[in-house]
């Protein structure tokens, strides 16, 4: 889902725009992982903590941040360090935008959060592709292959099937094949362009969701 959001922003030409001036912003659910206890952090470093469970997220902070974004306020978003599994003191400023793409594995899980979104997108990617991307991403974060695969079979895959996949029913649009589906992505880009051009008035300062 992050890859799809990045492609959308790229096609809209927003990457060349100074961050404060962007009309489209991306916000990731990954920024809202809870602060771990010492015991939980030790488990995380051994690959024994479930980051794909709904309880892994600070939903209160996520809810408040999204509410402020919908109201057109500038917000400070936590910065999460995936190497040390800790929330850093520094934050990322997200400025008001006409469209905010909020992406993550469980963004549809809580009703009060998903009800904030004006359009819900579910990126439906092949399981082999999900695994390969996970391996590449986590190896860049300094983890060894055995730990990554163990974590995938123990936590990631079961959590996807139990918590993520059932939320597909809440999507307004399903994008098969993820970032490879340029037909679907171009349709979304055109829709956002219409919003930015003022053709869809009710979408001003709207929130679009990429799952």
Determine contact, residues 121/210, Cβ cutoff 8 Å: yes
Query: Among 36, 18, 39, which Cα is nearest to 80's?
Result: 36
DSSP state of 148: H
For residue 210, give the nearest of 134, 101, 47, 127 by alpha carbon: 101
Strand-pairing partners, residue 78, are 91
CA distance 29 to 127: 20
Radius of gyration in angstroms for the set of CA atoms belonging to the chain, rounded to a whole number: 17
172 is catalytic: no
CA pair distance 83, 143, nearest whole angstrom: 8
Asked whether the beta carbons of 78 and 211 are under 8 A apart, the reply is no
Q: How many helices (H) and strands (E) does the chain have?
A: 8, 7
Residue 155 has φ and ψ, to the nearest 5°, of: -120, -50
Q: Which residue is catalytic, options 30, 58, 124, 180?
A: 30
**Active site positions, annotated:** 30
């Amino acid at each position: 889902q992050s890859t799809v959001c990045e492609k959308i922003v790229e096609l809209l030409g927003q990457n060349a725009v100074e961050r404060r001036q962007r009309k489209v912003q991306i916000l990731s659910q990954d920024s809202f992982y809870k602060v771990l206890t010492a015991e939980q952090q030790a488990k995380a470093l051994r690959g024994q903590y479930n980051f794909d469970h709904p309880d892994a997220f600070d939903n209160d902070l996520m809810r408040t941040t999204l509410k402020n974004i919908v109201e057109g306020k500038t917000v400070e978003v936590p910065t999460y360090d995936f190497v040390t599994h800790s929330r850093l003191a520094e934050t990322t400023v997200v400025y008001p935008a006409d469209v905010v793409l909020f992406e993550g594995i469980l963004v549809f899980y809580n009703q009060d959060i998903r009800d904030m979104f004006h359009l819900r997108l579910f990126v439906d990617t092949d399981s082999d592709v999900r695994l390969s991307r996970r391996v590449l991403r986590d190896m860049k974060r300094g983890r060894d292959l055995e730990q990554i695969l163990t974590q995938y079979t123990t936590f990631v895959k079961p959590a996807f099937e139990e918590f993520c996949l059932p939320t597909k029913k809440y999507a307004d649009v399903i994008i098969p094949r993820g970032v490879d589906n340029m037909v679907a992505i171009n349709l979304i880009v055109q829709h956002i362009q219409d919003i930015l051009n003022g053709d869809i008035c009710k979408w001003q300062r709207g929130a679009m969701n990429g799952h």
